[in-house]
């Protein structure tokens, strides 16, 4: 069964449905906040906010499929081969984020349940742990009814910014930002977001962006930060 991140119930739930998900429709739909703080990402929808060379088109795997082995002709990338322990803390010095990471499960429709708190982020435990081959996905709310939430400043990240993921076994893995992009929720490139090349770890940070649709209680777009592993 394909990986189907993010969904939630009626209240302020962040919904991300991924590759080969619901009715074969690409959906990255979120209602990740109360809409009290406007998310102002200057780039037009589906255009990169900041851009570097895009990664090679990845291979989408089911979340329950074993990760292919092999390190490739150049040897393992940074972060590869480390113990696959669950993430417990996310640190983004460039935007002042240091927050707890909680595992997110799936609802009965196979969609990822959003964090119930606005000051923590959630990791898709149906996918890889950060540092494993494939793309780990971490998401957080952009705002709440009372103001900015944990990923409100995510749009301020720049290419080259580092993200640190602390894991339950005491190790950490470091990722470097190589791209930020905003997409309408039904035009997200699922393979690029949720897949992987079978050898290299990746990380995707996701929150809401664009204008807020009050009738749907949802932002119209998603902001996605694409990261690759780097040396500490």
Question: Under 8 Å CB-to-CB from 122, ≥6 apart: which residues?
Answer: 101, 102, 103, 104, 112, 114, 115, 138, 139, 140
102 or 190, which is more confident: 102
Domains of the chain: 22-56+84-230 (2.40.260.10)
- Answer yes or no: pTM beyond 0.75: no
State the pLDDT confidence band at 190, using cuts at 50, 70 and 90. confident
Question: Using alpha carbons only, how large is the chain's radius of gyration in Å?
Answer: 16
Instruction: Choose between 93 and 78: higher pLDDT.
Output: 93
Task: Tell me the average pLDDT of the chain.
Answer: 73
Asked if residue 112 has pLDDT above 90, the reply is no
Lowest mean pLDDT among 63-77, 112-126, 159-173, 206-220: 63-77
19-55 residues labelled b (16+ CB within 10 A) or e (exposed): bbbbeeebbbbbbbbbbebebebebebeebbbeeeeb
Q: How far apart are the first and last CA of the chain?
A: 35
Q: What is the pLDDT of residues 51-83, one digit of tens each?
A: 333 332 222 233 343 333 333 333 444 444 545
CB atoms within 10 A of CB 66: 8
pLDDT-based confidence at 140, cuts 50/70/90? very high
Q: Which residues, including other chains, have CB under 8 Å from residue 10's CB and lie 6 or more apart?
A: 217
């Amino acid at each position: 069964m394909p990986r189907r991140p993010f969904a939630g119930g009626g209240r302020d739930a962040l919904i991300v449905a991924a590759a080969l998900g619901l009715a074969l429709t690409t959906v990255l739909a979120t209602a990740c906040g109360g809409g009290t703080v406007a998310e102002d990402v200057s780039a037009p929808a589906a255009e990169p906010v900041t851009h570097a060379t895009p990664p090679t088109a990845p291979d989408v795997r089911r979340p329950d499929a074993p990760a292919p082995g092999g390190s490739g002709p150049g040897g393992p990338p940074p972060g590869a081969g480390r113990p696959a322990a669950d993430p417990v803390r996310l640190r983004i010095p460039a935007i002042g984020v240091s927050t707890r990471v909680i595992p997110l499960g799936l609802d009965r429709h196979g969609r990822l349940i959003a964090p119930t708190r606005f000051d923590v982020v959630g990791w898709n435990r149906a996918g890889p742990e950060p540092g494993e081959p494939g793309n780990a996905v971490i998401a957080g709310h952009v705002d709440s009814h009372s103001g900015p939430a944990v990923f409100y400043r995510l749009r301020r990240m720049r290419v080259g910014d580092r993200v640190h993921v602390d894991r339950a076994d005491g190790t950490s893995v470091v990722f470097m930002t190589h791209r930020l992009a905003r997409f309408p929720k039904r035009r997200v490139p699922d393979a690029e977001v949720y897949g992987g090349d079978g050898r290299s770890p990746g990380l995707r940070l996701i929150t809401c962006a664009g204008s807020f649709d009050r009738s749907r209680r949802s932002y119209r777009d998603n902001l996605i930060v694409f990261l690759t592993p780097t040396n500490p």
